[in-house]
A and B are shown apart, each in its own frame.
Chain A
Amino acid sequence: MDDEKEMMDFLGIKSIEELFSDIPESVKIGGLDIGDGIDEHSLRIKAREILSKNKTSFDMPIFLGAGVYQHYIPSGVFSVASRSEFYTAYTPYQPEISQGMLQTLFEYQSYIAELTGMDVANASMYDYATALGEAARMANAINGKNEILIPKNLQWEKKSVLRNYVKGLDMKIIEYPYDSKTGKINIEELKRLINEKTAAVYAENPNFFGVIDENVLKIREFGNFVFIVGINPISLGLLKPPGDYGADIVIGEGQILGNPINFGGPLLGIFATKMEHVRKMPGRLIGMSKDRDGKRAFVMTLQTREQHIRRAKATSNICSNEALCAVFSAAYLSFLGKSGLKKLAEINMGRAEETRKMICSIRGYTNAHDSLHFNEFVVKLPFEEIKVHRFLLSKGIHGGYLMNTWSNNSFPELGNAMLLNVTEVHTDSDIKRLVDALKEVK
């Protein structure tokens, strides 16, 4: 810029180098060997060229879920979230000039509290997996105990994140079994594993198999541990909220509420709890207060829990969170409203069930779990997982999640099996193509 000379004159320096005279010559580098910068238009072309190698859910139907889910996102949601007053703001450290973000996050917190039936929700965690890690740590902070019981059929990714989050507390992770016929919690075994060392019991509804499990309703009566429940927020349009069956902490994946999947990030960790535990809670909280004229105003509050005040004694290290994803979700829930959310849950459940029936009527394909499902289900395959997957791909269809092939999951009792997700974005024709293709696998 032309103004540099003037600024250097003002500082009384002859070269920019003088500003770096405090850096020892021996650590200086000659430059960064990463090529020259390019102009915006050339990069636009380059980015399109590279990204054109990706196949999207508009190029082929994709029946993957397993943690993140495709849903119809109203255009208005993108319109709201692309307001640069929102997305180019920092954390609202100066609340008087940041009321827009603060009120929107307050609305997000309120929505999550309503949906989950809890008193309070925070302004976001990173994702479902880290929300579980934080919940386990919070349980330890609440009762000082050291064992957490988790379902054996929890996704490997979540187990691994959890292990890392509780490593510093030397918490012991114990897996409780499920009934292989129904895919539901083996409630007798779970009961047997609970004792005076149990800090927390974690259960998911729906679970990794997509199974809706009424057994979660019985867990609270097994003792005085911290009860953590993982949910799919859209399912709560129809299902009883965990607040009604004694949950202390409710977590889930908020991406589902109006955020694109983005290849797995950014996502949005839902985290809600009871008021009695609020001071042990991780993450930012927005509160309602008044300004000096007595007018309603919003502000970040209970900050003495957080790292910038409490440092080594903070409830969590989280600083940057997923605020903009929470804006997506607040807008999404506002567009849907009460009737939309309920209807959407019905459509998901109904279409997934229809698809499941169609697939399980094909010779050799069987239902893995004889239970109610939300929008995901496991089907046992008559061929090797990878063979079915590749055949579908060759037909321009992306099948579901391979239960024993990908990542580090292992469900030997299922044999060859696929976890398929169906939502309102899968058309009648997508589903027909999937079913027809499965019939052809040889």
Chain B
Amino acid sequence: MFHQAVWDEKLIIEMKGKRSLRLPYEDRDYNVEIPDILKRSELNLNDNEEHEVLRHYVRLSQMNYGVDLNTYPLGSCTMKFNPKLSEEIVSMDQVRYIHPYQDQSTVQGALQIMYELQEYLKVIGGMDAVTLQPVAGADGEFTGLLLVRAYHENRKDYKRREIIVPDSAHGTNPASSTMAGFTTIEIPSDKNGLVDLNALKEALSEKTAAFMITNPNTLGIFDENILEIARLVHEKGALLYYDGANLNGIMGITTPGKMGFDIVHFNLHKTFATPHGGGGPGAGPVGVKRHLEDFLPVPVVRYDGKYYYLDYNVKNTIGKVAGFYGNFAVLVRAWAYIKLQGGNGLRKVTERAVLNTNYIRKKLQGHYDLPYKELRKHEVVFSGSNLKKYGVRTLDVAKRMLDYGVHAPTIYFPLIVEEALMIEPTETESKENMDHLADIMIKIAQEAEKDPELLKTAPHNTAVKRIDEVEAARNPVLTWKMIK
């Protein structure tokens, strides 16, 4: 049985010591004169011994769970193994200690890697041009939608202010649409969990700017009507946007470009194995077809056959979506991953991810409800509603899974599945790990019947027990100065 480390760890502000760290030029006196009116009067921090600070954070890290510890089947998040060579490369001085405004002759290596990554992503996405600037998936969506807006406005078509999304979409889709100044029209999925073509036809109009979907969708189902969808959308003068969060289900088998998409964002921290960092940083490059190339953010990385350079001359550029050129250190990791895999390797990644998904799907069928069809791509969504009769909810199943030393799936998403349990095994889990995961989930379903209290009070083996989230929101304590 799994037992997470439990340290009764103080907050760093509750620790006290003497600073052992020595700064460069520490011993020199600088008689800095600041007018009283600008001077800081107090700063409520402590000094600490270096060794104690290190212990504090190492102990905290032991109360955290990463994919380096065990299976992390968090649906839509693609928690695959992060190659350690990528970490080695980004720890080099030539990645860490270069400044974005350096003379371009002194950063040719950095620009080369960015250029090569752009080229790879063009092929993988079936697109004509790529910008690496967006720093997260949602930032990529926002960028893509600014491109949509610029495209229509450039054609003097100012009426197009609606973005259509399916009700199974990631929450970022409608949120990005709002940020770019659009109204979101949500259409229901059909009885198979796919885009309802009639609902789509009804929603499409001369006000539609774009239809935003992911394929395979968040149920892990590939929408076989994709070419018809593309035709309907384009026929109405709108653009088709590909949310690349689920690219791991089709990479190397087909491309968004081939399916008729005009714009795609890539989640490098999902499909391309860059670590998630406990929430970020990620990277969300955007690929476009030729007709959108002139709107891309500046600068674009170009190559004249001898020299790599940053080009600020993009005809109808939308300007900038982040301070500099994107999350460079994340881009380098993704570049390394693609280099390691190669074209065939990336296709194998998808094949194995889909095999794993369907394997666990079949293993769990009968123990949890499986809405919609059987064949899935990168992920599968079960429903825990069959356990409701024991008074057990999906949340309880998720918490109990932690007791067995695996992370829980994504829960209560997509919204169209009641009591959803969204499992994405990824390609880097072995059959043995899949079997183990299935065994745990089957055992938990049995526990739900025999001893529902065990689930409702779970987790029991983690650093803390179940947390009162309602209280945290009702009386928020967000900093140590708010502790009473």
Flag whether B178 is at the interface (Cβ < 8 A): yes
Flag whether A43 is at the interface (Cβ < 8 A): yes
A16 neighbours in B (Cβ, 8 Å) = 351, 354-355
Residue in chain B with minimal CB distance to A217:
B37
- Given known A-B contacts A261-B96, A297-B464, A398 and B135 have beta carbons under 8 A apart: no
- Given known A-B contacts A26-B227, A99-B64, A160 and B175 have beta carbons under 8 A apart: no
B478 touches A334 (CB 8 A): no
A26 neighbours in B (Cβ, 8 Å) = 227
Chain B nearest CB: distance from A366 CB in Å? 22
Flag whether B26 is at the interface (Cβ < 8 A): yes
A33 touches B68 (CB 8 A): no
Chain B nearest CB: distance from A44 CB in Å? 6
B38 touches A240 (CB 8 A): yes
B222 neighbours in A (Cβ, 8 Å) = 22-23
Flag whether B443 is at the interface (Cβ < 8 A): no
B345 neighbours in A (Cβ, 8 Å) = 36-37
Chain B nearest CB: distance from A156 CB in Å? 8
Complex partner residue of A343 from B26, B67, B342, CB under 8 angstroms: B26
Flag whether B171 is at the interface (Cβ < 8 A): yes
Flag whether B275 is at the interface (Cβ < 8 A): yes
- Given known A-B contacts A127-B322, A320-B269, A340-B21, A262 and B102 have beta carbons under 8 A apart: no
Q: Supply 11 further A-B pairs (C-beta < 8 A) apart from A19-B358, A100-B63.
A: A31-B344, A54-B109, A68-B100, A93-B410, A97-B463, A127-B323, A238-B40, A240-B41, A312-B174, A316-B175, A337-B19
B478 touches A324 (CB 8 A): no
Chain A nearest CB: distance from B405 CB in Å? 9
Flag whether A415 is at the interface (Cβ < 8 A): no
B83 neighbours in A (Cβ, 8 Å) = 40
Per the bound structure, the CA–CA distance linking A391 and B321 in Å amounts to 33
- Given known A-B contacts A35-B343, A266-B329, A164 and B182 have beta carbons under 8 A apart: no
B53 touches A96 (CB 8 A): no
Q: How many residues of A contact B (CB 8 A)?
A: 199
A83 touches B61 (CB 8 A): yes
Closest 7 CB pairs of A and B: A350-B30, A264-B324, A168-B181, A37-B342, A324-B277, A264-B100, A100-B64
B24 touches A347 (CB 8 A): yes
A165 touches B179 (CB 8 A): yes
- Given known A-B contacts A68-B99, A168-B178, A97 and B319 have beta carbons under 8 A apart: no
Contact with B along A1-44 (1 / 0, CB 8 A): 10110111011000010011111101111011111111110011
B250 touches A160 (CB 8 A): no
The stretch from A73-81, A180-188, A220-228 touching chain B is A73-81
Flag whether A277 is at the interface (Cβ < 8 A): no
B279 touches A123 (CB 8 A): yes
B359 touches A7 (CB 8 A): yes
Contact with A along B33-76 (1 / 0, CB 8 A): 01101111101111110100110111111111111110010100
A320 touches B252 (CB 8 A): no
Chain A nearest CB: distance from B158 CB in Å? 12
A301 touches B473 (CB 8 A): yes
B123 neighbours in A (Cβ, 8 Å) = 32-34
A317 touches B135 (CB 8 A): no
Flag whether A92 is at the interface (Cβ < 8 A): yes
A408 neighbours in B (Cβ, 8 Å) = 312
A323 touches B279 (CB 8 A): yes
Per the bound structure, the CA–CA distance linking A97 and B277 in Å amounts to 15
- Given known A-B contacts A36-B344, A317-B175, A425-B24, A97 and B407 have beta carbons under 8 A apart: yes
Contact with B along A37-68 (1 / 0, CB 8 A): 11110011011101111111110101010111
B60 touches A104 (CB 8 A): yes
B23 touches A340 (CB 8 A): yes
Flag whether A355 is at the interface (Cβ < 8 A): no
Chain B nearest CB: distance from A125 CB in Å? 10
- Given known A-B contacts A88-B82, A129-B320, A261-B96, A8 and B355 have beta carbons under 8 A apart: yes
A264 touches B323 (CB 8 A): yes
Per the bound structure, the CA–CA distance linking A276 and B408 in Å amounts to 35
Chain A nearest CB: distance from B146 CB in Å? 6
Complex partner residue of B352 from A1, A107, A308, A318, CB under 8 angstroms: A1
B172 neighbours in A (Cβ, 8 Å) = 307-308, 317, 319
B96 touches A262 (CB 8 A): yes
A127 touches B135 (CB 8 A): yes
Chain A, range 100-131, C-beta contacts under 8 Å to B: 100-101, 103-107, 109-111, 113-115, 119-121, 123-124, 126-130
Residue in chain B with minimal CB distance to A285:
B478
Per the bound structure, the CA–CA distance linking A424 and B146 in Å amounts to 41
**10 pairs of residues in contact across A and B, judged by CB atoms under 8 Å:** A72-B23, A86-B277, A88-B275, A105-B279, A130-B135, A161-B321, A217-B38, A293-B465, A311-B184, A335-B48
Per the bound structure, the CA–CA distance linking A104 and B12 in Å amounts to 9
Flag whether B202 is at the interface (Cβ < 8 A): no
B66 touches A54 (CB 8 A): no
Contact with B along A276-319 (1 / 0, CB 8 A): 00100000111111111101011101111011111111101111
- Given known A-B contacts A32-B123, A240-B39, A84 and B280 have beta carbons under 8 A apart: no
Per the bound structure, the CA–CA distance linking A32 and B121 in Å amounts to 10
Flag whether B226 is at the interface (Cβ < 8 A): yes
A350 neighbours in B (Cβ, 8 Å) = 28, 30-32
By CB atoms of chain A within 10 A, which of B179, B352, B355 has the most?
B179
B276 neighbours in A (Cβ, 8 Å) = 87-91, 320
Contact with A along B91-116 (1 / 0, CB 8 A): 11111111111110111111011000
Residue in chain A with minimal CB distance to B221:
A22
Complex partner residue of B340 from A28, A37, A237, CB under 8 angstroms: A37
The stretch from B231-239, B254-262, B381-389, B446-454 touching chain A is B254-262
Per the bound structure, the CA–CA distance linking A44 and B300 in Å amounts to 27
Flag whether A260 is at the interface (Cβ < 8 A): yes
- Given known A-B contacts A70-B97, A263-B110, A128 and B39 have beta carbons under 8 A apart: no
Per the bound structure, the CA–CA distance linking A331 and B53 in Å amounts to 7
Per the bound structure, the CA–CA distance linking A334 and B351 in Å amounts to 46
Flag whether B193 is at the interface (Cβ < 8 A): no
Flag whether A94 is at the interface (Cβ < 8 A): yes
A34 touches B135 (CB 8 A): no
B45 touches A114 (CB 8 A): yes
A351 touches B408 (CB 8 A): no
By CB atoms of chain A within 10 A, which of B95, B99, B224, B251 has the most?
B99
Contact with A along B283-304 (1 / 0, CB 8 A): 0100000000000000000000
B472 touches A301 (CB 8 A): yes
A96 touches B399 (CB 8 A): yes
Chain B nearest CB: distance from A384 CB in Å? 15
- Given known A-B contacts A114-B45, A323-B277, A334-B12, A236 and B66 have beta carbons under 8 A apart: no
Per the bound structure, the CA–CA distance linking A324 and B479 in Å amounts to 18
Chain A nearest CB: distance from B29 CB in Å? 8
A76 touches B347 (CB 8 A): no
A338 touches B465 (CB 8 A): no
Per the bound structure, the CA–CA distance linking A210 and B63 in Å amounts to 41
B322 neighbours in A (Cβ, 8 Å) = 126-127, 129-130, 161, 265
Contact with A along B406-423 (1 / 0, CB 8 A): 011010010000000000
A31 touches B347 (CB 8 A): yes
Chain A nearest CB: distance from B243 CB in Å? 12
Contact with A along B197-238 (1 / 0, CB 8 A): 000000000000000000000000110101100000000000
Flag whether B436 is at the interface (Cβ < 8 A): no
By CB atoms of chain A within 10 A, which of B269, B278, B352 has the most?
B278
Per the bound structure, the CA–CA distance linking A264 and B348 in Å amounts to 33
Residue in chain B with minimal CB distance to A118:
B479
A351 touches B278 (CB 8 A): no
B109 neighbours in A (Cβ, 8 Å) = 50-54
Per the bound structure, the CA–CA distance linking A7 and B432 in Å amounts to 10
Per the bound structure, the CA–CA distance linking A265 and B112 in Å amounts to 16
Chain A nearest CB: distance from B348 CB in Å? 9
- Given known A-B contacts A114-B43, A265-B329, A266-B330, A291 and B58 have beta carbons under 8 A apart: no
Flag whether A212 is at the interface (Cβ < 8 A): yes
B85 touches A44 (CB 8 A): yes
- Given known A-B contacts A212-B38, A287-B476, A167 and B100 have beta carbons under 8 A apart: no
